[in-house]
Structure 1
Amino acid sequence: MNDFWTRMAGRGPGEVVVDGTVVGPGSLVRLRPRNRTDVFDLVLGGQVAVVESVEQDDEGALHVAVTLADDPGRDLGEARMPGHRFFYSAEEIEPLGEHEERPGGARVLVAGIGNVFLGDDGFGVEVARHLAAGPPVAGADVVDFGIRGMDLAYALQRAYAGVIFVDAAPRGHAPGTLTVLEPDLPGGPSPDGSLEGPLEGHGMDPVSVLRLARRMGRLPARVRVVCCEPVTVEEALFELSEPVRAMVEAAAGLVKSLVMEMIAENAGPGSRDPLPR
């Protein structure tokens, strides 16, 4: 098994052309397995999937790594866990339109971010865990990203209608104060093909992640940041302060409202498509 994953994890070209359509990370495809007798492949035939990467094995063959669009454990696929991540040849996938909706309609990514070892900095993670422990949030994928900024930037390459970051951020308010921000989205590359300013692949503040995601090619059209005023984010306290912990449930309710708002905006006449690749 280890040898298989090693062979399948080679660096690929990034994109592949299928029936005249460029397919890469974030592309929606329909699975059309050929000449396979495995019952799993027979079940997956016809399913809509999201391309995670295009990879090349040690023999030079290209493989499209995908996760199912409606798999609630899709983040496990990103972590290369069997049963959530699948490989198909270019001949076994059917590209779908860039604006074709996923099963169940438009979806929103709720990203809990922060370092749980630095006191209130773990607020976003706690809110994500609180949401995940309750009934599913309709139309949303709730993921605890922690400090995995690169993973979050990759996740933003999918066809999400919007993203909601949940984080702790000092803004000069009383501890526990919740604030909703709508950050300015970074623009496209400059004429020389680069973005202004340095890019931090390991940065986990929303602005750094958005800039990295934009460099990679795609941003959701709607972005909100739910902030909580911390008591401290520097000391190794390993738990939230009382004022911040008391706001976890309120923040979860606020996130649910924002999810519904984003989905409604996406369905309305003034909805915006994701930024072009």
Structure 2
Amino acid sequence: MSGGRTVAGGREMAPGSRVRLCPRGRGADIFDLALVGRTATVERVDEDMEGRLHLVVALDDDPGRDLGPRNQLGHRFFVGLDEVEPLAGDAPSRKVLVAGIGNVFHGDDGFGVEVVRRLAERTLPPGVDVTDFGIRGIDLMYALGDGYETVVLVDAAARGHEPGTVSLVEPDPDGFGGVAVDAHGLDPAQVLRLARDNGPVPARILLVACEPSARTTDATWEMKLSAPVGAAVAEAVLLIERLLAKELTERGVEK
């Protein structure tokens, strides 16, 4: 199990819940002492092989917490349900994740990364997280179990259209209907299957895809998008903003 919800200290714990850490029962461990009294945000609820639940948390005052999405070595901590004091207030809403996928060293394969970079510079509604996953499939897998209601994947995908064509694809239960989106070594269809095996995933997963130029291959070492794909970035940004407005309105979230 990964993601999900549980109860600690009489309050429901879910991704986004805030807690005060109070490690106990493990002696005078120097790492425990360093965590006592610190506030943190719950990233996931994990279940170990013995069926025991743990919270994966990120410290609120850790300057490195935003270096990567999840499971950054040294920036995430596992704590027991009896080692936290829930803080007052509702957990921040985590409605939609926009996930950029791609290898910036492979020309047009960096499309998804560039789109989320531009999105991150814009004002987005509350409840929306924008993350550059690059080629980090394990991080994306865990993110799919982090309690989002909708995930929008952004990637270059060969669908047989003219280069620069932007498409919106909703995967079937077995993947993305044969859409080729794994040129960078991160196959979202495989990641989605792994995430489903690991626990609940968002009810809705979408793919905003851009047709790459024919010259873009695994062997391409080019940190620049081709002209048609570069021109499509702005179109994709506007499409995603419309998707966000629609998703949040349908779910009753104030924009």
State the partner residue of 1:78. Answer: 71
5+ residue gaps in structure 2?
Answer: 25-31, 176-181
TM-score, normalised by the number of residues in structure 2: 0.71
> Which of 92, 112, 126 is 1:124 aligned to?
112
TM-score, normalised by the number of residues in structure 1: 0.66
State the partner residue of 1:66. Answer: 57
State the partner residue of 1:194. Answer: none
How much does 1:210 deviate?
A: 0.8
Taking structure 1 as reference, are residues 267 and 136 closer, same or farther at Cα in structure 2, changes over 3 Å only?
closer
How much does 1:90 deviate?
A: 2.8
State the partner residue of 1:50. Answer: 43
1:47-92 deviation line (CA, Å, top 9, x unaligned): 6522265789xxxxx97431379x983835521354xx34433312
Q: Give the distance between the partners of 2:15 and 2:236, measured in 1 at CA.
A: 31
Taking structure 1 as reference, are residues 109 and 76 closer, same or farther at Cα in structure 2, changes over 3 Å only?
closer
After superposition, where does 1:215-234 map in structure 2 within 5 Å?
A: 215-232=197-214, 233-234=216-217
Q: Is residue 2:83 matched to residue 1:92?
A: yes
Taking structure 1 as reference, are residues 39 and 93 closer, same or farther at Cα in structure 2, changes over 3 Å only?
closer
Tell me how many residue pairs correspond in the alignment: 225
The amino acid of 1:259's aligned partner reads L
1:171-228 deviation line (CA, Å, top 9, x unaligned): 12111111101111349xxxxxxxxxxxx9x952221111111011121001110011
Helix, strand or coil: the match of 2:250?
A: helix
Contact 2:69 2:133 in 1 (8 A): no
Helix, strand or coil: the match of 1:127?
A: helix
After superposition, where does 1:51-200 map in structure 2 within 5 Å?
A: 51=44, 53=46, 64-67=55-58, 73=66, 75=68, 78-82=71-75, 85-93=76-84, 102-103=91-92, 105-136=93-124, 138-186=126-174
State the partner residue of 1:251. Answer: 236
5+ residue gaps in structure 1?
Answer: 1-13, 57-61, 96-100, 188-199, 269-277
Taking structure 1 as reference, are residues 218 and 54 closer, same or farther at Cα in structure 2, changes over 3 Å only?
closer
Contact 1:54 1:65 in 2 (8 A): no
Q: Give the distance between the partners of 1:137 and 1:127, measured in 2 at CA.
A: 17
Q: Is residue 2:194 matched to residue 1:212?
A: yes
Q: Give the distance between the partners of 1:152 and 1:74, measured in 2 at CA.
A: 15
Q: Is residue 2:229 matched to residue 1:241?
A: no
Identity of aligned residues (%): 44
Tell me the C-alpha RMSD between the 2 structures.
4.1
Helix, strand or coil: the match of 1:246?
A: helix
